[in-house]
């Protein structure tokens, strides 16, 4: 982490808080995305190859190189590069449903969008509760929800833990229901020592700029199922097979050479990014250690990417989670309530659905703050945030009182 | 058009034809796409701005600049940049259907893919015949097909002619059915002197590398309907509105800064590309003039972009259209049967649909060859193709006889 380059203005009285009109703690926003741009010259060197080959899209040489390197990274047989991860999830759900309209089991404690993706694939979301330790799909909840209408189980690896893969796979196998993974937060992570990417029927990863491996936008599917990989290759290209005939429902979901150029440039930097991510998370732990009733969500798994710093605020903390987030955002620290509201209680829930009661999900969604991280946040920023939190802890009654009058 | 840089090998006997084992007419393929890569340094200058701004996607500054310039180009109020034109068509059909599952009226004499796009939007394609002059949706066929189940009319501008817009709009208005346009081939074209882009409820354009305006991949919607533009902006970003709530079904269909950088670099070159396209089409007319029973599909409209050279082979020509195409492709001239088979008789037709009889479409689909064009084809290539066709005309019985023995 580099030295601070922007002024940080500590708080002495509550008038100094930006929410009460004081100067912002940070001149410029401190976001929550990874936002690492790969080395400019390395990207430009790859981009010049596009001009040399004259091949721009439609499974060009850089896309093919990227797919090969990602197969190695994930120790998996097939990688299918895609325009983005959302399209990958839609195509995969549609492929696994095999013409049926049914339900896809998914967690509600995850990022917005998943229920819509199921709908585009002609499926209906079926929300299940999560495990209190890993925050991933709870096997007993999946077992209770699975039925003849289930077309797939969509398990989402969390940043703090991979899914309970063996248990979920056993349930899927017992019921003959395909299991697949949203692995957007799982790149470079392992489960029982094996890289994520070859579990279930397939896994879907992201190349979005806010993610670890930055390809501007983009995504990819990994699988050891050759027939499924072929199907996804056809679906990303209007459903057209090698002979030029239409063999399956498709659209345009191709990754082009520019995205592949940036992603290839980014691949070399991954170890360093993860090291800096870990340093950032450890700096949070260190500098926040003296503030009572705050717990950092621990990382589980043998190898993780430390993409997020997730702060759990105890209900006995003198200010509520959402108040803390509002105060921080005014200071240009773009913290967010983490996965809150959960999907089943949000506007992403399909109209007319009676939301299930998901106690673990609902408890988790009340208490966690996603703290600023990524390449635009350094240790001085984290120290300043710790000071801000300590200040809020000791001035909570004053803050509450002033807020109630605003 | 520049001088030939690759060997052209004329044919003296039918043994010289590549289909019979002779050397290929062209060393390297002569394709049918535009494939103009904008000036490298101009692109790199825009791409460096991405590094300067640190903004990569999610409605970045280059995308906003591109949208403004496209509004000017099309003389339209709103432009919504999208990851590709297919996604634009899906989102627009879904938006116009407003939650209904119904039929979208569309031509069958067009490029593959449209029926699938309707299906992703929860709609069913309803194929209508085309007008024999413009090759676009025939108003009387639309009038006959429209009904309570119609959610939209999707008219496709042809490269040789814009749609019969006024007549289609009158039918849409009379029935209260929205009309919109696939304008992938309509960039820089006019209808009654007004640029395409502001007709119907919206128009969808492409930024694919094979199209006039090359943004690697990408597309955009244009409309004078501010509410519809807002809806499309939400739909391209997971359905999220300005307040951060989900207001409509959405997915990730954002254009990113790399695409915008290439498209901006390409915008300046458009007049020159169109001039070269026109020279190429005129060269085809000139060099093919002496060969009997061949007609070039004329360009209609006050201003056109001359993207394609479409050769109509009379049924009395001594070789069939598909034989000519096979011979040419073996010579590395990547000609194609144009829109053949038509969609209603192809594997793109939804399973179970009884194909309608569309006589004009079926006649057109039997006779037209899409000839090699774009920046990889020069006048010497066209002369060589004319010589090849003259050779085929005079050696047709020998060719037919040899083919029947192969």
Residue B112 pLDDT class (50, 70, 90 cuts):
confident
Q: Are residues B289 and B167 in the same domain?
A: no
Q: In total, how many domains does chain B have?
A: 2
**Cβ pairs A/B, distance under 8 A:** 122
Q: How far is A323 from chain B (nearest CA, A)?
A: 18
CATH, residue A305: 3.90.1150.10
- Which residue is closest to A257 within chain B, CA to CA? B216
Q: What is the pTM for the complete model shown? A: 0.91
Does residue A59 sit within a domain?
yes
Determine the pLDDT at residue A3: 43
Q: Are residues B252 and B378 in the same domain?
A: no
- Which residue is closest to A343 within chain B, CA to CA? B246
Cβ separation of B208 and A57 shorter than 8 Å? yes
Q: Are residues A111 and A121 in the same domain?
A: yes
Q: Tell which of A252, A254, A347 to mutate to test the B interface (max B CBs under 10 Å).
A: A252
Question: Which of B86, B113, B238 is facing A113, going by the closest CB pair?
Answer: B238
Q: Tell which of B32, B41, B43, B57 to mutate to test the A interface (max A CBs under 10 Å).
A: B57
**Complete DSSP assignment for B66-108:** HHHHHHHHHT-SEEEEES-HHHHHHHHHHHHHTT---EEEEES
Q: Are residues A228 and A362 in the same domain?
A: no
Looking at the complex, does the CB of residue B258 fall below 8 Å from at least one CB of chain A?
yes
Window 201-240 of B, Cβ < 8 Å to A: 208-209, 214, 216-217, 238-240
Q: Are residues A147 and A255 in the same domain?
A: yes
Looking at the complex, does the CB of residue A346 fall below 8 Å from at least one CB of chain B?
yes
Contact at 8 Å (CB) between B91 and B235? yes
Q: Is the pLDDT of residue B327 over 60?
A: yes
> Last residue of some domain: A268, A288, A322?
A268
Q: How far is B166 from chain A (nearest CA, A)?
A: 30
Contacts of A113 in chain B (CB under 8 A): 238, 250-252
Question: Which of A87, A208, A347 is facing B245, going by the closest CB pair?
Answer: A347
The complex's ipTM works out to 0.87
Quick: pLDDT tens for B11-29.
999 999 999 999 999 999 9
Question: Which of B216, B247, B254 is facing A257, going by the closest CB pair?
Answer: B216
Q: Is the pLDDT of residue B5 over 60?
A: no
Determine the pLDDT at residue A7: 52
Contact at 8 Å (CB) between B30 and B332? yes
Does residue A7 sit within a domain?
no
Determine the pLDDT at residue B150: 98
Q: Are residues B184 and B291 in the same domain?
A: no
Q: Are residues A28 and A44 in the same domain?
A: no
- Which residue is closest to A247 within chain B, CA to CA? B347
Quick: pLDDT tens for A330-343.
999 999 999 999 99
Alpha helices in B316-395 (DSSP H): 321-330, 359-367, 379-394
Does residue B3 sit within a domain?
no
Q: Is the pLDDT of residue A6 over 60?
A: no
Does residue B4 sit within a domain?
no
Looking at the complex, does the CB of residue A120 fall below 8 Å from at least one CB of chain B?
yes
Contacts of A47 in chain B (CB under 8 A): 44, 47
Distance, CA of A24 to CA of A327 (rounded, Å): 10
Which residues fall within 8 angstroms of residue A123, CB to CB, at 6 or more apart? A93, A94, A97, A101, A102, A103, A104, A151, A152
Cβ separation of A217 and B51 shorter than 8 Å? no
> Last residue of some domain: A268, A301, A319?
A268
Distance, CA of B317 to CA of A172 (rounded, Å): 61
- Which residue is closest to A89 within chain B, CA to CA? B251
Torsion sign over Cα A45, A51, A54, A59: positive
Does residue B207 sit within a domain?
yes
Window 174-203 of B, Cβ < 8 Å to A: none
> Last residue of some domain: B268, B299, B334?
B268
Q: Which domain holds residue B138?
A: 40-268
Cβ separation of A247 and B347 shorter than 8 Å? yes
Quick: pLDDT tens for A119-159.
999 999 999 999 999 999 999 999 999 999 999 999 999 99
Quick: pLDDT tens for A30-64.
999 888 888 999 999 999 998 888 788 778 899 99
Does residue A9 sit within a domain?
no
Phi-psi label, residue A57: left if phi above 0, alpha if psi -120 to 50, beta otherwise = beta
Q: Are residues B198 and B281 in the same domain?
A: no
Does residue B242 sit within a domain?
yes
For residue A186, the 8-state DSSP code is -
Q: Are residues B47 and B177 in the same domain?
A: yes
Determine the pLDDT at residue A245: 84
Looking at the complex, does the CB of residue B111 fall below 8 Å from at least one CB of chain A?
no
Between B37 and A233, whose confidence is greater? Answer: A233
Torsion sign over Cα B313, B316, B319, B322: positive
Contact at 8 Å (CB) between A310 and A368? yes
- Which residue is closest to B347 within chain A, CA to CA? A246
Distance, CA of B277 to CA of B379 (rounded, Å): 11
Determine the pLDDT at residue B330: 97
Q: How far is A343 from chain B (nearest CA, A)?
A: 11
Contacts of B209 in chain A (CB under 8 A): 56-58, 256
Looking at the complex, does the CB of residue A359 fall below 8 Å from at least one CB of chain B?
no
Looking at the complex, does the CB of residue B36 fall below 8 Å from at least one CB of chain A?
no
Q: Are residues B259 and B358 in the same domain?
A: no
Residue B106 pLDDT class (50, 70, 90 cuts):
very high
Does residue A8 sit within a domain?
no
- Which residue is closest to B83 within chain A, CA to CA? A83
Q: Are residues B302 and B183 in the same domain?
A: no
CATH, residue B237: 3.40.640.10
Q: Are residues B181 and B44 in the same domain?
A: yes
């Amino acid at each position: 982490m580099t030295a601070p380059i922007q002024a940080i203005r500590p708080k002495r009285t509550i008038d100094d808080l930006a929410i009460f009109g004081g100067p912002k703690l940070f001149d410029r926003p401190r976001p929550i995305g990874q936002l690492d741009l790969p080395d400019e010259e390395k990207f430009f060197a790859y981009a010049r190859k596009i001009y040399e080959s004259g091949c721009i899209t439609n499974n060009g040489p850089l896309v093919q190189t990227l797919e090969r390197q990602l197969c190695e990274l994930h120790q998996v047989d097939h990688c299918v590069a895609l325009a983005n991860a959302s399209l990958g999830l839609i195509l995969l759900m549609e492929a696994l449903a095999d013409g049926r309209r049914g339900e896809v089991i998914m967690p509600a404690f995850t990022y917005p969008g998943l229920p819509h993706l199921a709908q585009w694939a002609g499926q209906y979301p079926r929300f299940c509760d999560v495990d209190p330790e890993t925050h991933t799909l709870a096997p007993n909840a999946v077992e209770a929800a699975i039925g003849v209408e289930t077309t797939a189980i969509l398990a989402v690896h969390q940043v703090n833990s991979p899914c309970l893969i063996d248990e979920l796979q056993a349930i899927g196998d017992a019921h003959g229901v395909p299991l697949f993974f949203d692995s957007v937060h799982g790149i470079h992570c392992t489960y029982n020592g094996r890289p994520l990417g070859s579990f279930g029927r397939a896994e879907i990863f992201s190349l979005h700029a806010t993610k670890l491996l930055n390809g501007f936008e983009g995504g990819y599917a990994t699988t050891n199922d050759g027939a499924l990989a072929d199907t996804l290759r056809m679906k990303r290209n209007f459903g057209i097979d090698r002979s030029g005939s239409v063999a399956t429902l498709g659209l345009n979901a191709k990754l082009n050479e520019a995205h592949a150029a940036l992603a290839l440039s980014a691949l070399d930097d991954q170890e360093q990014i993860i090291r800096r991510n870990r340093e950032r998370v450890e700096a949070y732990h260190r500098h926040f250690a003296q503030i009572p009733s705050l717990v950092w969500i621990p990382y589980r798994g043998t190898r993780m990417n430390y993409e997020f710093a997730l702060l759990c605020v105890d209900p006995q903390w003198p200010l509520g989670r959402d108040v803390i987030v509002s105060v921080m955002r005014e200071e240009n620290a773009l913290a967010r309530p983490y996965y809150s509201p959960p999907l089943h209680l949000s506007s992403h829930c399909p109209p007319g659905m009676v939301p299930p009661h998901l106690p673990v999900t609902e408890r988790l969604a009340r208490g966690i703050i996603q703290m600023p991280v990524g390449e635009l946040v350094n240790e001085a920023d984290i120290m300043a945030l710790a000071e801000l939190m300590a200040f809020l802890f000791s001035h909570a009654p004053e803050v509450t009182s002033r807020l109630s009058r605003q």
